[in-house]
Amino acid sequence: MSTLLTDLTPLIAGIGVVIASAVLVRTHRLSVALPVLLDFLLAAGLLRLTAAAPWRAIITVAVIVLLRKVVTWSLGRTAPTPGSQLAVR
């Protein structure tokens, strides 16, 4: 079972890259596509973690989750809200 989970992690990560790329092409917004990619990478990391859970793997996943939260938060702060427009003088 652990070999199957380990073998699935690159597949899940690859699917994430493809789907995030499609979202980026469709929306032209990195602030929408990047969280999709990071969610898939998180899923792949969690699958790998379930296969073998040494402390190093747990710390790695914690760092990935923290990175995802920080990047998503910072993109949300800098991205304009829908419907808002810059004033043109």
Total count of residues recorded for the chain:
89
**Neighbour-count burial for 54-77, b at 16+ CB within 10 Å, e otherwise:** eeeeeeeeeebeeebeeeeeeeee
Which stretches within the chain are classed as H helix? 2-27, 30-51, 55-78
Per-residue pLDDT of the chain (89 residues; tens, 9 = 90+): 577 878 888 999 999 999 999 999 999 999 899 989 988 988 888 888 777 677 787 788 788 888 878 887 887 776 555 665 554 44
pTM: predicted TM-score of the whole model, two decimal places: 0.64
Residue 20: per-residue pLDDT = 96
